[in-house]
Structure 1
Amino acid sequence: MNYMDMYKRWLNFDEDTKNELLNLDEKEIKERFYKELEFGTGGLRGIIGAGTNRMNVYTVRKVTQGLANYIKNKGIENASVAIAYDSRKFSDRFAKEAALVLNANGIKTYMYKELRPTPMLSFAVRYLKTTAGIVITASHNPKEYNGYKVYWSDGGQITEEHAEGILKEISKVDYDDILTMDFEKAVDLGLFNYIDDEVETAYINLVKGLTVNKDIVEKAKNDLKIIYTPLHGTGNKPVRRVLEEIGYKNVYIVKEQENPDPNFSTVKYPNPEEHEVFKRAIEMAKELEADLIIGTDPDCDRVGVVVKNKEGEYIVLTGNQTGALLTHYILENLKTTGRMPKNPVVIKTIVTTEMARRIAKSYEVEVIDVLTGFKYIGEKIKEFEEKQSKDFVFGFEESYGYLSGTFVRDKDGVIASMLICEMAAFYKLKGMTLYEGLISLYEKYGYFKEDLKSITLEGIEGSQRIKEIMDMLRNNPPKEIAEIKVREVKDYLKGINDLPKSNVIQLVLDDDSIITARPSGTEPKIKFYFAARGKSYKDTEERLEKIKMEFLRLTI
C-alpha cells in the first residue's frame, strides 16, 4: 500500500484524526505516511500527530499488539508487563492504551498511578518480576515528541534479538488485527492493575542504601546548599524524597520548573545538556550562594550539574566531567572504607571520556567499553551476575547518564542526584568546590576534553545525507585532520572487540585524539564525538577545537 492509499485509510479512523489529516498538503502527507516509525532497541520516538510516521494512539496500539504477539509466541505463562509514563503530551493516554491492548491479549499490566521516572519502570519490572516493561517517554526531546521504550524481564532495555523479534511481529499486524478492551472490564478481570506504593518505597530505600560514605553526609547535610530543578518532568517527587530522607536540610526547588508541564514552558529543550535550562537555577544559586545545582530531564534518567568555579561563576559540567568525578569519588571511598569488591569494574561507552580509564587504573579497577546506549551497560551487569565473574561498581555515558547499584538496569537520575550531592559534600568538607575537585583530578590524571556536534537532518533527504556521510567515512576516510595523521579507522559495523555490530565509525589520530561518527537511533540526527588530551587545559581545549573545525569542514 503506497503512502496515499494509507492516508486515505486513516481518514476513516476517527473524526479528530480525519480533521487533522484533511488540513495537510501533499508534501506533509508523504512525510507522515511514507514509512512507519522505526522500532529498535530504543523503541519508538517521533513527533506527535496522525500518521504511520508519527506518535499517536494507533501507532502505540499497533506496536503493543506486536509486543503482545511476541510475548504470547514465547509461551510465557502468566505474562505481565509493567508500565510507566512521563509528563509529555498524551503520555498518560498512550500508557493506558498500551495496557488495554495487552489486557485484551490476556496479559496482565501494572501501571504507575502517576508519572514516574524511567529508572523506576526498570525497577518495577525487576521487583514485580514482570515479563516486560513499557515506558512512554521521549526523554529530553522537544515538546513535539513522544516515544515508547520496551524493557525485558531483567529490567534492561530490550536487546537486538528481542527488538528484531518484536519488529517482525509488528510488521505482521494490520490495524484491523489490533485487540483492545474497555478499561472497567480490564480492571474487573484483574488484568489492569496500578502499582502499589510499596514498590516506590522499596526503590527509595535501595537508592538511599547506595550512599557511599554516610559519615560525609552526616557531617555536611546541614550546610550543603543544593538547588534542584526537575525541568517540568518526573524527577520532582522521588529526587526530593531521597534527599529529604537522607537528611539534607537546604534543598531549594526552582518553582517555575517544579510541576509537570508537557509544553516545557520555561525552556526551549528540556535537556540538562543545554546550558540555558539552568538560567533560573543559576539566578537562585547566586542569591542563595548555593554549592550545587542539579537538574534532571523529563523522564529523570539524565542529570546535569552546575558548580561554582574559582571566580565565583557557575559552570555547567559536561557529562564526561561529572562521570569522571563520580568514578573517582566512588572508587576513592570504597578503597578508604575497605569496601572495594573482589573484581571491581567500571563500564563506559566507546564515546565516553578516557579519563575514567586513567582514574580506574590508579585504583587497579578494570574499565570495560560498550557501544553507545545505556542498554549495553545493563547487558554487561546481567552477564556479570549470570557468570558471577565481575563486580559492577559504576557505569556512565557522556550524555549525562549514570548508574550505581544493580537493582536498576538503566541510567538513573535519582541515584545520580543523590551521589552527586554526596560528592559535593565530600569536597565541601575539604574546603573545595566540586569544580576545584575536577581541576585537582586534571592535575593528577591529565587534561581531557570532549565535545559533541549533533546535526539534525530531517525527512527523506536528511536520511540520505546521513548515509552519504557515513559511506564517505567508511570507504574514503581522511588521511589526516588538522595536520595530525589518522592512525586507525575503526568500523564497528564489522564488529570490534566482541561488541555487537553497529553503524559507528571511529578515527583515532596519532596524538590519541578520537573522532566518532554515529547516526542517532531515535532522532533524525548524525552525531560527531570529539575527544582530545593535552598538557594543560588550554592546550587540550585548543587542540580539540582545531580537530573539530577541520573535521566538520571536511565532512559537512
Structure 2
Amino acid sequence: MIYLVKYDKWLNSELIDKNTKEELKKIKDKKELEDRFYKDLEFGTGGLRGIIGAGANRMNVYTVRKATQGLAEYLLNKYGKEKISVSIAYDSRIMSETFSKEAALTLCANGIRVNLFESLRPTPMLSYAVRYLKSKAGIVITASHNPKKYNGYKVYGEDGGQVTDKTAKNITSFIEKIDDFSKIKTMEMKVAEELRYLNIIGEEVDKNYIDNVKSLSIREDLVKESAKDLKIIYTPIHGAGNIPVRRVLKELGYKNLSVVKEQEMPNGEFPTAEYPNPEEPQVFKIALDMAKELKPDIIFGTDPDCDRIGAVVKDDRGEYKVLSGNMMGVLLSHYILTSLKEKNKLPDNGVIIKTIVTTEMAAKIAGKFGVQSIDVLTGFKYIGEKIKEFEEIGDKTYLFGFEESYGYLAGTFVRDKDAIIASMLICEMALYYKKKGMNLYNALINLYEEYGYYKEELVSITLEGKKGVDKISKVLEHLRHSMKVEINNVKIVKKLDYNISIEKNLVNLTEKQIKLPQSNVLKFILEDESYFVIRPSGTEPKMKIYMSVTGNSLKNSDEKMKSFKKNVMDIINNACDV
C-alpha cells in the first residue's frame, strides 16, 4: 500500500525529529494512518489547510517547509536574481507562530528576504503589507474559522490578492518536484538575522494600514459628531482582531465600546467557542449576556484571522438576531451606494462584486443605483482578481464586494475580505440609522419591502477522509447527469455546470459559455427564481448546498424556504445513497 511506503519514509528519515516519529508510532488505527499518508496535504488555490499533526496529509513543520521550498523555487524561477521579498503574518492558532517562522527560515535559506510581523496580525493586514512593502508574495498562517485542530497556509501574489488557479498550479508543480526532505532548505534564526534576510515589521505598516482604513469612512461629519453615542459590544473570539479593530474605532471617536473579556485574548484553544466562526450564534453567548445590562446598539465579532465579521441586532420583537452574511452584505451595499450618491461621489462605471452563491438581492440593489453587479466563483480571491483587472484595464470602478460567508471589502488597498474595514463601516451604518431612530434590522426590513423578501440557507455535510472526498465527487457527478426536471412542481429552467463552463437553458435547450474559471460546482435555477448550488468546500471536508427563495413577506419566504429546503435535501440525500 502506497500510504505505508510514505509512512516508512517518514519513520526512517534522519531529517524527521524524534517526537514526530513517536507520534506516528503510537497510531494503531489503520484508517487514521491511511488518512495521514494516502496523499500529500494539497496545495489548493488558497494554499494549504489541514489538521495539525504528523504525516504527509497534515499541517506540521515539514509540510510547511516543503510548501515554502516550492514557493521559493517558483519565485526564483519567475523573478530571477532580482531582489525578492516575501511578507508573512500569522494568527492566534496553535503553532501559527512556529509555522510562520519555519516558512520565513526556508525562504531565507533560499536567498529570499522576509518581512515577518513581530506578533499576530489579521489576514487583511498581510494583504496590505505585501503591497505596501512591494513584496513579490505573501504568506499568512491561519485556518480562518475552522475548529482548533486545523491550521493553514495561504499564499498571496504581489498584487496583495490570494493566488488564483493558474498561479496555484504553477506553485504546486514546484512543490511536487520535491520528493525528498533533503531538498528542503532552512537555516537558524540567528543566521537569517545576521545576513539581514529577516526583517521584523510592525508599527510602520500598522499605522499606514489604519490610516487607510479610516479614509474609507463616508459620512465623516456624522462620525466626528456622534460616534460617541453608539453603544458597541465587540468580541475578537480569541483571535487577531482585538487590537486593530479597537484602534480604528477609538481613533474615529467610538468611545462607548465594550469588549468581551472572556474572548479578548488570543488563544488557539478557543476555550469559549468550539467553532470560532461569527456565523455561529453560540459564539455570541457571552456578548448577549453582557447585552442585558449594557443594551448595545450593535454587537459584532471577528473570526481568528479577522477577515470575517458577524453582527447581532435586535429584531422587531426585541430579540437579538445574528444577521446572515447576505443580510449584512445587502445592508452595506445599499448604505455605501446611498451615501456615495448623496455626496455626488457615485461613479458612472461603478461595480459591486459578489460570488455565485451570494444573494441576488445585491444585484437588484445595484441596478437601482445604475451600478453593475458582477458574479465570480466562490472565494474572495476571485473578487481580488477582479479588482486587479479593473485597475489594469481602467474601465470599471470597484465600489464594494462581498460573499455570503461573512466576508466584505470596500477600498482597494487590501485585496481580500477585511473585517477591520467592515467593522468600521458597520458601526458607521448603525450610527446613521440610529440617528434616524432605526437599527440595522429595521433598515433590512425596509430593503425587503422594496426589493423582495430574499431568504438564503446553507447546509454543510461533513464527509471526512478519502471516502468523504470520493463521496462528494460521486454525488456531484450523479446530479450532473441525473437531476430532476422540476422541484415540487416548479420547473428547473437553467443548469449551470461550472466544471465544463456551460449554462444550459432547459426550456429552449440552448447553451452558452460561462466565462469563469472551471470549478466542480453545479447551480440549478427554477422558474420562480429560486435556486440551489452544490459544491465541495475548498477549505473543509464538507459538501455545501446553498439555497435561495424569494417571498412577499418574512412568513412567506420562511414557508417557501422550508418546503424548498426539504425537497432539495431529499434530492441530495438520495444522490448520497446512490
> Aligned residue for 1:28?
32
* Superimposed CA distance per residue, residues 149-201 of structure 1 (whole angstroms, 9 cap, x where no aligned partner): 00000000002111011100000012110000111010011101111411110
Partner of 1:331: 337
Q: Counterparts of 2:340 and 2:76 in 1: how far apart (Å)?
A: 45
Pairwise CA distance, 1:482: 2.3
- What displacement does 1:5 show? 1.9
Q: CA deviation at 1:342?
A: 3.1
What TM-score do you get using the length of structure 1 for normalisation? 0.99
**1 CA distance for matches of 2:283 and 2:79?**
47
Q: What's the counterpart of residue 5 of structure 2?
A: 5
1:108 to 110, 113, 132: 113
Match of 1:472 among 445, 457, 478: 478
Q: Between 459-468 and 91-100, report the one with greater CA deviation.
A: 459-468
Alignment partner for residue 540 of structure 1, among 546, 557, 571? 557
Partner of residue 258, structure 2: 252
Query: What amino acid is the match of 1:20?
Result: E
**AA matched with 1:121:** L
Matched position secondary structure for 2:229: coil
Task: Tell me what 1:79 maps to.
Answer: 84
| TM-score, normalising length: structure 2 | 0.95
Question: CA shift at 1:388, angstroms?
Answer: 0.6
- What displacement does 1:339 show? 1.1
Between the aligned partners of 2:484 and 2:46, the Cα distance in structure 1 is 31
CA-based RMSD: 1.0
Corresponding position of 1:46: 50
Segments of 5+ residues of structure 2 without an aligned counterpart are 502-512, 574-578
The letter of the residue matching 1:49 is G
- Give the 3-state SS of the residue equivalent to 2:346 in structure 1: coil
Q: How many residues align?
A: 556
Alpha-carbon deviations, 1:254-292, whole Å to 9, x = none? 000000001000011000000110011111112101000
Cα separation, 2, equivalents of 1:389 and 1:343: 7
User: Aligned match of 2:222 in 209, 216, 222?
Assistant: 216
Q: Which residue of 1 is the match for residue 509 of structure 2?
A: none
| Structure-to-structure mapping, 1:357-376, within 5 angstroms | 357-376=363-382
Which of 514, 518, 533 is equivalent to 2:531? Answer: 514
Name 1:19's counterpart in structure 2: 22
Shift of 1:358: 1.1
Q: Distance in 2 between matches of 1:42 and 1:97?
A: 19
Q: 1:61 aligns with which of 62, 65, 69?
A: 65
Q: Runs ≥4 in structure 1, deviation > 4 angstroms?
A: none
Matching of residues 407-446 of structure 1 within 5 Å: 407-446=413-452
Of 89, 92, 95, which aligns to 2:94? 89
**Structure 1 residue 456 corresponds to structure 2 residue 462:** yes
| One-letter amino acid matched to 1:555 | I
Question: Is structure 2 residue 492 aligned with structure 1 residue 486?
Answer: yes
Report the alpha carbon displacement of residue 460 of structure 1 after superposing the two structures with TM. 1.5
**Corresponding position of 2:139:** 134
> AA paired with 1:23?
K
Q: Which amino acid aligns with 1:520?
A: S
Q: Kindly state the Cα deviation for residue 223 of structure 1 after the two structures are TM-superposed.
A: 1.2
1:256-335 equivalences in 2 (<5 Å) = 256-335=262-341
Report the alpha carbon displacement of residue 219 of structure 1 after superposing the two structures with TM.
Answer: 3.5
Offset, 1:41: 1.1
Following superposition, the deviation at residue 440 of structure 1 comes to 0.7
Q: Aligned residue for 2:568?
A: 551
Alignment partner, residue 164 of structure 1: 169
Which residues in structure 2 correspond to 1:522-533 (within 5 Å)? 522-533=539-550
Is residue 196 of structure 2 the alignment partner of residue 200 of structure 1?
A: no
Tell me the distance in 1 between the aligned counterparts of 2:493 and 2:515.
21
Q: Could you give the per-residue CA deviations for residues 384-440 of structure 1, whole angstroms, max 9, x where no partner exists?
A: 000011000000000000000000000000000000000000100000011101101
Q: Aligned match of 2:195 in 189, 194, 203?
A: 189
Does the 8 Å contact 2:348/2:371 carry over to 1? no
Matched residue, 2:185: 179
Contact 2:356 2:376 in 1 (8 A): yes
Structure 2 CA distance for aligned equivalents of residues 216 and 396 of structure 1? 25
1:104 shift after superposition: 0.3
How much does 1:9 deviate? 2.1
3-state secondary structure, aligned to 2:121: coil
Calculate percent identity across the aligned residue pairs: 58
Q: Look up the match of 2:404.
A: 398
The alpha-carbon distance between structure 1 residues 216 and 482, as it changes in their structure 2 partners (threshold 3 A), is farther
Secondary structure of 2:74's partner? helix
